Amino acid sequence: MPEPARVPAREPVRDAARDVAIVAFGQSEHVRDSAETSEVEMLMPVLHDVLAQTGLRARDIDFTCSGSSDYLAGRAFSFTMALDGVGAWPPIAESHVEMDGAWALYEAWVKILTGEAETALVYAYGKSSPGDVREVLTRQLDPYYVAPLWPDSVALAALQARALIDAGLADAREPAGTAARRRGGPARPPGEYVVAPLRTGDCPPVVDGAAAVVLAAGDTARRLTGRPAWIRGLDHRIEAHGLGVRDLTDSPSTRLAAERAGAFERPPDTVELHAPFSSQEVVLRRALRLDGPQSAHVRINPSGGALAANPVMAAGLIRLGEAAARIQRGESDRALAHATSGPCLQQNLVAVLEGDPRPGTGGQHKEGQ
């Protein structure tokens, strides 16, 4: 069939008509088991924290968007409980994605770009403790051919790690070394095998947690914080679901999202990767070209990354928040933040954040050139 003449897709949003920034970030303590605490109780202090950072009240927020999963909460419409914590009265303009909070941030960013909102509150939360999260995540898989086999998230990540080793891109001990470094300490024993070749040190801790971010446009952002973390580019892409049709050693969706977000135009000084498994950091570093000499001075996951705390549904948003917080604190001028979803990095989001040039430093372009 002849292809019709196509209308070309839009160029990526870059230097958009209005600048949008992350102006506040907060997160809960991430704990192994929050049985004594409801989702709302976990979330409330975080929401109060980000509002206090900006001096905004709930009613000053133009748009609210959240990310969470009914399958973690074990009940339908679980996000309606969290709305009580937001204080949605008088009624608010609000939306929810059944995705990691990083995608809720994306929806809120788009809303601000339309001009309908100046400020947005984004939050995400997940309690993995009530169930067995490895089992729960099997329900994400193709319900006809894969989910009935109950292959759990660690087993699938182990397939990916094995593919990396077979391709000569990682040796069996390398991922564990990465893991120890991420947690900030000296190299520790790699631990016992969970699913070979992944050991305990290669796998994320199972925790409960919540996070929130405030976005604001242009001058509003400048008014709310000393150094806004401007979103210079933001894009996300998904890959095929079937693991058999993917090259698990590569992440073309991360690379494409990064290209669209302008990540390769200049190297960042800081990178926050959402790699729940140490082997996945190897894949992401390759896709984002972080292994070359030009990236020698890039700090990767100064927060400790998802290997230090991985509250499912919030961990991606936390990467964006941590990167923004470093810019706000003056510890970074250009940061790349990444979030992932699905088995073996199926879906990926990349944000490029920048601070305004600092007086006396010659601007944010100086470093890393």
Q: Choose the stretch contacting another protein; rule: CB under 8 A; options: 6-14, 154-162, 274-282, 353-361.
A: 6-14
Smaller CB distance to another protein: residue 240 or 296? 240
Structure tokens of 143?
């319900």
Q: For 134-199, where are the E strands, in sequence order?
A: 193-195, 198-199
Only one residue has tokens 């631990």, namely 191
Q: To the nearest whole angstrom, how small is the minimum distance from the Cβ of residue 231 to another protein?
A: 12
Please provide the size of the chain in residues. Answer: 369
Q: Choose the stretch contacting another protein; rule: CB under 8 A; options: 45-53, 112-120, 166-174, 185-193.
A: 112-120
Where b means 16+ CB within 10 Å and e means fewer, 343-359 reads bbbbbbbbbbbbbbeee
Contact in structure between 209 and 305 (CB atoms under 8 Å): no
Local structure of residue 55 (DSSP, 8 states)? T
Q: To the nearest whole angstrom, how small is the minimum distance from the Cβ of residue 255 to another protein?
A: 11
Beta bridge partners of 19: none
Smaller CB distance to another protein: residue 70 or 171? 70
Contact in structure between 101 and 124 (CB atoms under 8 Å): yes
Q: To the nearest whole angstrom, how small is the minimum distance from the Cβ of residue 87 to another protein?
A: 8
Smaller CB distance to another protein: residue 166 or 219? 219
Nearest 10 degrees: CA dihedral of 223, 226, 227, 232? 0
Render 252-277 in DSSP notation, one character per residue: HHHHHHHHHTTTTSS--SEEE---SS
Given 29, 52, 57, 80, the residue binding another protein (CB under 8 A): 80
Map residues 123-162 to x or -, x wherever contact with another protein holds by CB under 8 A. -------------xx-xxxxxx--x---------------
Q: To the nearest whole angstrom, how small is the minimum distance from the Cβ of residue 369 to another protein?
A: 29
Q: To the nearest whole angstrom, how small is the minimum distance from the Cβ of residue 89 to another protein?
A: 6
Q: To the nearest whole angstrom, how small is the minimum distance from the Cβ of residue 88 to another protein?
A: 5
Determine if 274 is a binding residue for another protein (CB under 8 A).
Answer: no
Local structure of residue 151 (DSSP, 8 states)? -
Going by DSSP bridges, is the β-strand pair 299-300/270-272 parallel, antiparallel, or unpaired?
Answer: parallel
Q: At residue 56, what are phi and psi to the nearest 5 degrees?
A: -85, 150
Q: Choose the stretch contacting another protein; rule: CB under 8 A; options: 8-16, 173-181, 284-292, 295-303.
A: 8-16
Applying the rule CB under 8 A, the residues between 233 and 272 that interact with another protein are 235-242, 252-253, 256
Determine if 184 is a binding residue for another protein (CB under 8 A).
Answer: no
Applying the rule CB under 8 A, the residues between 340 and 359 that interact with another protein are 341-343, 346-347
Determine if 113 is a binding residue for another protein (CB under 8 A).
Answer: yes
Given 14, 41, 74, 167, the residue binding another protein (CB under 8 A): 74
User: What is the Cα–Cα distance from 5 to 48, expressed in whole angstroms?
Assistant: 52
Given 15, 36, 114, 359, the residue binding another protein (CB under 8 A): 114
Q: To the nearest whole angstrom, how small is the minimum distance from the Cβ of residue 276 to another protein?
A: 15
Given 88, 159, 206, 308, the residue binding another protein (CB under 8 A): 88
Nearest to 344 by CA among 272, 279, 257: 279
Smaller CB distance to another protein: residue 301 or 348? 348
What's the Cα-to-Cα distance from 350 to each of 102, 103, 269, rounded to whole Å? 9, 10, 15
108 alpha carbon, distance to own chain's centre: 15
Contact in structure between 241 and 147 (CB atoms under 8 Å): no
Given 27, 30, 106, 211, the residue binding another protein (CB under 8 A): 106
Q: At residue 196, what are phi and psi to the nearest 5 degrees?
A: -55, 140
Q: How many residues bind another protein (CB under 8 A)?
A: 69
Residues that bind another protein (CB under 8 A): 3-4, 6-10, 13, 17-18, 64, 69-71, 74-77, 79-80, 83-84, 87-99, 103, 106-107, 110-111, 113-116, 136-137, 139-144, 147, 235-242, 252-253, 256, 341-343, 346-347
